[in-house]
Chain A
Amino acid sequence: MEGAWDVALVLFQVWLSIVVGLIMLPAMFGVSLGFTDIYIKVLVKILEWATLRIQRGQREQPTLPSQSANGIIEKKDGSMEEEIEELRRSHPKNLAGGDFTLCDVFYFCKNGIENIVEDQVTQRFTSEELASWNLLTRTNNNFRYISVRLTIIWGLGVFIRYCILLPLRITLAAIGLSWLVIGTTLVGLLPNSNAKSWLSDLVHITCYRICARGLSATIRYHNKENRPKKGGICVANHTSPIDIVILANDGCYAMVGQVHGGLLGVIQRSIVRSCPHVWFERSEMKDRHAVAKRLKDHIADKTKLPILIFPEGTCINNTSVMMFKKGSFEIGGTIYPVAIKYDPQFGDAFWNSAKYNMVSYILRMMTSWAIVCNVWYLPPMTRQDGEDAVNFANRVKSAIAYQGGLVDLSWDGGLKRAKVKESYKEEQQKMYSSMIVGSDSHEAFVDPM
């Protein structure tokens, strides 16, 4: 009995020293031993082989549905005016004037049915569909048994991910987070000075690097010369809480957010001791002026780190960028846009907060193959004269969408939970009304209320 405990202890010590020596220390110094690169390369080869096997299997059994991410229908993007004009062209013109025709409903009908089959918004709140299976059952929509070899590889994958990678990653995450809390508390004891800021940055970066290793994250940063500077505001598209880890691996930011309880609250309270972050109480968040004032004061102080904000306000599935809330764009200051694009082949980073809570989400992250992503730093932007906050926000959003290869949508990410505003329907009605009475402009027109 004693012997077993000794053996277990020795194994644990060996395990810990491997983790520390080979993974944690290099991570802290930003050095890569190349393990992750090799891992990714091997993974890519295996996934390619798996794809070919599946395609071959599909050719042999034609009843297997092919997995295509191309969408269900092909839409012609005509405007309301164009489509209804076309409809009316073949209809005999009303001699008495007025432009309503019975076939006008066809436009709304077809438009409605198309949106029932496939719309631009609801698909953004669920994970992206992959073009080919990546050996994770969670991404598989039409799993059919293909071959013994594929199933064996899949089984091996499950074993590797759950029994080898998961404990490793949990260990790293635990070390990383505890170091963050302890380190920042210690640094917080120092008096304010340059040394304190430098140490604080060091602690933050090393912790985030350890956490990134804890997710097998491979991050490629582009255009580092545009990295956010002090006194500025960094805005990025939001896919998951991991975005923070991804960005903080390459720079230090002041976080903005609501005060939480539990573990997150502990972390929040300790990191704010070593350098100023902006945490709001729930009640404060309702007061937009108070929020704006605090952020303004923060960026006015040029010694403080750039603020990191996600203007979408909620997690989107990384295929598109949704409406940016104008609040962050009214404060002034320089905006540093950042585009983050994850490669879904290795692991789906999107947090579907309606479906998974934080713990199961983190577990899913840690049992994925890896998190691979690209980060582009875009040139800084400022509000131009005469440009209002909404237009400025849209300009930044388009730049980010363009760089990340994402669809630029004006729909509000809040539609994940809330209903769409009536005013949009009223716009549609107004547009149609002008098509009916537009030509008879001398007839009485009732003002919209």
Chain B
Amino acid sequence: MGSRASSLLREEDIEEIKKETGFSHSQITRLYSRFHSLDKGENGALSREDFQRIPELAINPLGDRIINAFFPEGEDQVNFRGFMRTLAHFRPVEDNEKNKVLTPGEPLNSRTNKLLFAFRLYDLDRDDKISRDELLQVLRMMVGVNISDEQLGSIADRTIQEADTNGDMCISFNEFTKVLEKVDVEQKMSIRFLH
């Protein structure tokens, strides 16, 4: 248990994270305890192995992609700020009214940003398009060995066909958003943080 964990987090840092992410003071300290308990190397940053140690995450078919989302381009360590910034995407949208988030621009947990987070799970090369290959890769991760290549291929083709409106055989972010416009993204990509 991080018995001295909160003493390593300064008040100024907490205030900055509060402004940037919208989490409350107590949520930030609790999440810092969690961060600290995952940080086995005690160097103030998490590596991919630290995440892999969580059994329920290790058995999640998309576990590796989700872990990837925490790490900035080409980096192997994520610090607490980065950790919170990623988690902030999953704050419920209603909380913004309660906590009066005053960041300029769109809050991290807006519907668009939540959709962008999910989009980036598919779009590995960050070219703002989900190609057929990228879609196949994610599908393969989710189904394992249980579905044949041909079947998976036709599922991918069907999906692109439905979503693709400009005929480039890829799904852009706008097309992605259009297909999912009726889905309750705010609720399905939000976690209810206590206090």
Residues of chain A with a CB closer than 8 A to B53's CB: 122
Fill in one digit per residue for A128-170: 1 if any B CB lies within 8 Å of its CB, else 0.
0100000001111111000000000000000000000000000
Cβ–Cβ contact B59 & A424, under 8 A: yes
Convert B92-108 into 0s and 1s, putting 1 for each residue whose CB lies closer than 8 angstroms to a CB of A: 00000000000000000
Cβ-closest chain B residue relative to A120: B56
Asked if A221 lies at the interface with its beta carbon under 8 angstroms from chain B, I say: no
Within 8 A of A (CB), among B135-160: 138-139, 142-148, 150-151, 154-155, 158-159
> A residues within 8 A CB of B31?
72, 117
Taking a contact as CB atoms under 8 Å apart, the answer to whether A65 and B29 are in contact is yes
Interface string of A107-128 (1 = CB under 8 A from B): 1111111111111111000110
Check A429–B58 contact: CB distance below 8 A: no
Q: Evaluate whether A106 and B189 lie within 8 angstroms (CB atoms) in the complex, with A66-B26, A121-B55, A424-B59 already known.
A: yes
Cα A65 to Cα B195 with chains together (Å):
10
Interface set, chain B 22-63, CB cutoff 8 A to A: 25-27, 29-31, 33-34, 37-38, 51-63
Is there a chain B Cβ closer than 8 Å to A264's Cβ?
Answer: no
Complex CA gap A73/B92 in Å reads: 12
Q: Is A103 an interface residue (CB 8 A)?
A: yes
Contact between chains at A142 and B191 (CB < 8 Å): no
CB distance from B151 to the nearest CB of A (A): 6
Q: Is the CB of A112 within 8 A of B66?
A: yes
Q: Complex: how many Å from CA A138 to CA B122?
A: 44
Q: Are A112 and B146 in contact (CB under 8 A)?
A: no
Q: Which of A277-285, A331-339, A432-440 contacts B (4 or more CB under 8 A)?
A: A432-440
Residues of B within 8 A of A87 (CB): 183, 188
Taking the closest CB of chain B, its distance from the CB of A425, in whole angstroms, is: 4
Q: Tell yes or no: A94 within 8 A of B by CB.
A: yes
- Report A-chain residues with C-beta under 8 Å of the C-beta of B151: 437, 443-444
Within 8 A of B (CB), among A64-84: 65-66, 68, 70-74
B155 and A98 within 8 A (CB): yes
With both chains docked as a complex, state the minimum distance between the C-beta of B186 and any C-beta of chain A, in angstroms.
11
Closest to B49 in A: A419
Q: A113-B87, A118-B34 are in contact. Are A73 and B180 (CB under 8 A)?
A: no
Q: Is residue A448 contacting chain B, with contact meaning CB distance below 8 A?
A: yes
- Complex Cα distance, B26 from A119, in Å, reads 19
**Complex CA distance for A361 and B143, rounded to whole angstroms:** 46
Complex contact B61–A108 (CB within 8 A) = yes
Cβ of B127 under 8 Å from chain A:
no
Q: Are B191 and A73 in contact (CB under 8 A)?
A: yes
Which A residues are in CB contact (< 8 Å) with B171?
102
**A interface residue count range (under 10 / 10 to 19 / 20 to 34 / 35 or more):** 35 or more
Q: Assess A116 versus B57: contact at CB under 8 Å? Given A436-B143, A448-B144.
A: yes
CA distance A108 to B64 in the complex (A): 11
B1, B142, B150: the one contacting A127 at CB < 8 Å is B1
Which residues of chain A come closer than 8 Å to B116, judged between CB atoms? none
Task: Tell me the smallest distance from the CB of A29 to a CB of chain B, in Å.
Answer: 40
User: Contact: A420 with B59, CB < 8 Å?
Assistant: yes
Cα separation A419 to B26 with both chains bound (whole Å) = 32
Q: Do residues A446 and B145 form an inter-chain contact, with CB atoms below 8 A?
A: yes
Closest to B62 in A: A108
- Residue A104 at the B interface, CB < 8 A? yes
Determine which residue in A70, A103, A139, A445 has the highest number of CB atoms from chain B within 10 A of its CB, and name it.
A103
- Contact digits for A81-98, partner B, Cβ 8 Å, 1 yes 0 no: 000001100111010101
| Contacting residues, chain A, for B142 (C-beta < 8 A) | 104-105, 108, 429, 432-433
Distance in angstroms between the alpha carbons of A137 and B163 in the assembled complex? 58
Asked whether A59 is an interface residue with its Cβ less than 8 Å from the other chain, the reply is: no
Most buried by A among B2, B67, B184, B188: B188
CB closest chain-B residue, reference A129 = B1
Interface membership of A100, Cβ < 8 A: yes
* Given A110-B188, A112-B57, A119-B54; A142-B195 close (CB under 8 Å): no
Give the CA-CA distance A339 to B81 in the complex, in Å.
43
What residues of chain A lie closer than 8 Å to B162, measured between beta carbons?
94
CA distance A424 to B150 in the complex (A): 26
Partner of A116, one of B54, B61, B184, B193: B54
Instruction: Judge whether B182 is part of the interface by a CB distance below 8 angstroms.
Output: yes
Q: Which of A395-416 contact B (CB under 8 A)?
A: 411, 415
In the bound complex, how far is the Cα of B142 from the Cα of A87, in angstroms? 16
Query: In the complex the two chains form, what is the Cα distance from A449 to B59 in whole Å?
Result: 18
Q: Are B66 and A113 in contact (CB under 8 A)?
A: yes
- Nearest CB of A to B112, in Å: 15
Cβ-neighbour of A73 out of B7, B183, B193 (below 8 A): B193
Distance in angstroms from A79 CB to nearest chain B CB is 14
Interface membership of A63, Cβ < 8 A: yes
A71 to B194, CA, bound (A): 7
In the complex, 13 of the A-B residue pairs with CB atoms within 8 angstroms, ordered by the A residue number, are A65-B26, A73-B191, A91-B179, A98-B154, A100-B158, A103-B118, A103-B183, A116-B51, A122-B53, A425-B59, A426-B145, A432-B142, A437-B147
> Contacts A74-B194, A102-B179, A109-B118 given; 13 further ones with Cβ under 8 A?
A66-B26, A72-B30, A72-B34, A72-B194, A110-B190, A112-B62, A112-B66, A112-B67, A121-B54, A127-B1, A141-B1, A429-B146, A448-B146
Interface residues of B (CB under 8 A from A): 1-3, 5-7, 25-27, 29-31, 33-34, 37-38, 51-63, 66-67, 87, 90, 117-118, 121-122, 138-139, 142-148, 150-151, 154-155, 158-159, 162-163, 171, 176, 179-180, 182-185, 188-195
Residues of chain A touching chain B, judged by Cβ–Cβ distance below 8 Å, are 63, 65-66, 68, 70-74, 86-87, 90-92, 94, 96, 98, 100-122, 126-127, 129, 137-143, 411, 415, 419-420, 424-430, 432-434, 436-437, 443-446, 448-449
